[in-house]
Structure 1
């Protein structure tokens, strides 16, 4: 079974705004990128989160 590529890398800036940095990642890739970006010493917060599918229209 192929590895799920439904993880995203997110960033939270100094003003509380959330930004999607990358999508279509495996969990390991997303978590590794989050650690890499955090390790660069930026003020922003980075984290990996599973992408949720859109809800169907009512």
Structure 2
């Protein structure tokens, strides 16, 4: 995935059972990213999917 695309500031992040975090994809809008996260989350797996803006810090 190319990190140079400033036009795609929204990330979908997957967190597994061990707390490891992985970027699933980058999207132009928060709504688009949230739709992807919701569809992945609805598959019933134990992973957690979240949406973050690039540069946003997580606690």
Band the TM-score falls in, shorter-chain normalisation: 0.7 to 0.9
Output the aligned Cα RMSD.
Answer: 1.7
Count of residue correspondences: 50
TM-score by length of 1: 0.76
2:48 equivalent among 3, 24, 45: 45
The structure with more radius of gyration: 1
Over 6 Å off, 4+ runs: none
Query: Which runs of no fewer than 5 residues in structure 1 stay unpaired?
Result: 54-58
Matched, 1:5 2:18: no
